[in-house]
Amino acid sequence: MNHKQLACALVTAGLALGSGAASASTTWNLNTSTTVPAMSAWYNLNDGKLGSGAVTKWDGGVGVQHLGADGLAGGSSGNADETLSSPQHAMDTEGRFESLLLNFGPQEVKLDKVSIGWVQTDSDFFLLAYTGATPFSGSLANNTYANLLSSGWSLVGNYANGASTGTYNTGASVYSSFWLIGAGAISASGVTNGDGRHDYIKIASVAGVTKIPPPPPPPGVPEPGSLALAGLGLLGLVATRRRWKSA
């Protein structure tokens, strides 16, 4: 192997080791999963800020219950929790816009499938991934739906699915530890019903691939970045030598 070939090999090896890899696709059944992903429920309060609700589990998947402490007429009185009667036992857009936050902990996941196991009236939903530079605390408190897209959250998609259950491909291209699935459609102005009809859905499962970090090098072996720098240095030496010979 000549100097140029060796240098190219070192650069390639350093970049490959530094980029990590992805595992095979994993499906997380949200009705049975209790630890990964961790789930929390969110909805808009009277002042527009997001408050924490309750995650509910049903045969068709998980739903969200918004709570009445903020004065929402969700049940029989003005300060009641949202009723768990059908269809409001699901994640829905009636009264409040409800969403489900998935926390994969230290894992970074590319969430490419969302399965809806129960629908009534309409099943529009949105998907956001946290891609901000500042570490996310795991809480959406003091945020609003309208400011999420300028606070480190990236819109993966709004999905207008009609009144049908099934598994939907999200088209996600990013990895994140935090994903937000919500009923309705989201934009920089906030969340709406999208097509004007209330959405009632239960999320049965999600699926995606997990990024596997590269293993640390054994003792005495240069870090991937050092390998790449060494390769670039050798390429520079080769170029300098050729210029010297041609002079």
* pLDDT for the residue 247: 54
Average pLDDT of the segment spanning 215-228 = 62
* pLDDT for the residue 70: 54
Average pLDDT of the segment spanning 193-217 = 90
pLDDT band at 162 (very low <50, low <70, confident <90, very high): confident
What digits encode the pLDDT tens for the residues 113-127?
999 999 999 999 999
* pLDDT for the residue 122: 95
Reply yes or no on whether the pLDDT at 3 is more than 90.
Answer: no
Reply yes or no on whether the pLDDT at 239 is more than 90.
Answer: no
Q: HEC profile for 95-126?
A: CCCEEEEEECCCCCEEEEEEEEEEEECECCEE
Mean pLDDT of the chain: 83
Reply yes or no on whether the pLDDT at 223 is more than 80.
Answer: no
What digits encode the pLDDT tens for the residues 88-100?
999 999 989 999 9
Average pLDDT of the segment spanning 75-87 = 71
Helices marked H in the chain — which ranges? 3-19, 224-246
Which has more confidence, 37 or 240?
Answer: 37
Average pLDDT of the segment spanning 201-226 = 79
CA distance 128 to 29: 19
pLDDT band at 242 (very low <50, low <70, confident <90, very high): low
What digits encode the pLDDT tens for the residues 41-76?
999 998 899 999 999 999 999 999 988 765 444 443
* pLDDT for the residue 33: 64
Average pLDDT of the segment spanning 134-153 = 96
Reply yes or no on whether the pLDDT at 168 is more than 80.
Answer: yes
